[in-house]
Amino acid sequence: MIEFTLSKINLLILVVALFSIISFFSLNVGKIFLVNEVKQEMDKYALTLNSMLVAPTTCDSKPFAIPPKFTSFGNNIYYRMFISTTSDPSGSRLIFAVSDIRTPTSVLAASSLATDSKIVIIDQDNENGFQILPSNDPNAFLELDPQDVPPRNAFYAVKSVKAGLPTLYIFPCSITAQGQNCSGKGYIKEQVNDFLPKEEQFIC
């Protein structure tokens, strides 16, 4: 009887140990895949923007829609994206960072783009309208949240070259199944251009 009980206890210990090991392995592997997926998405934005900046054009613009969520081992991961800029030996650095909404103070993954272009990030709120975010301020960033209502699930990038100096403007917008407010007559791209000083307004 004692031997039977001990064998059952040993079996239970084995099952619990195996479950713990498998759970730990799945959790960590899932986190690695998630981080890689998020970083690849942000690297794609950085690569596309770099192509815009090095192209021999005086003006170019493009909207970027961000995914509504990321998925890891069947679990939906909701997030916020932060876009900021800081000084760099080459000129400026544009930084993309993503945080899981469950751990908002931790960066899940990040990517950046170094450029000799000037970077201007413009935010918008209902109280103050448009405002240019200061660079080199860790608390100054453009926050995108695809789950917000209305969603902030896209950003618009405009490259404008004036007197040989390229400037990259980035500002938020929204793209849904019902439509978008990024560009078009009276939409955010035009509103941002009207907000800028006349000598900095872009032509595309």
How does pLDDT run across 87-143, given as a tens digit for each residue? 988 889 999 999 999 988 889 999 999 999 999 999 988 777 899 999 888 889 999
pTM of the full structure: 0.83
With b for 16 or more beta-carbon neighbours within 10 A and e for fewer, the 38-67 pattern comes to bbebbeebbeebeebbeeeeeebbebbebe
Tokens of 51: 């192509």
Residue 82 scores a pLDDT above 80: yes
Instruction: For residues 156 and 83, give the distance between their C-alpha atoms in angstroms, rounded to a whole number.
Output: 12
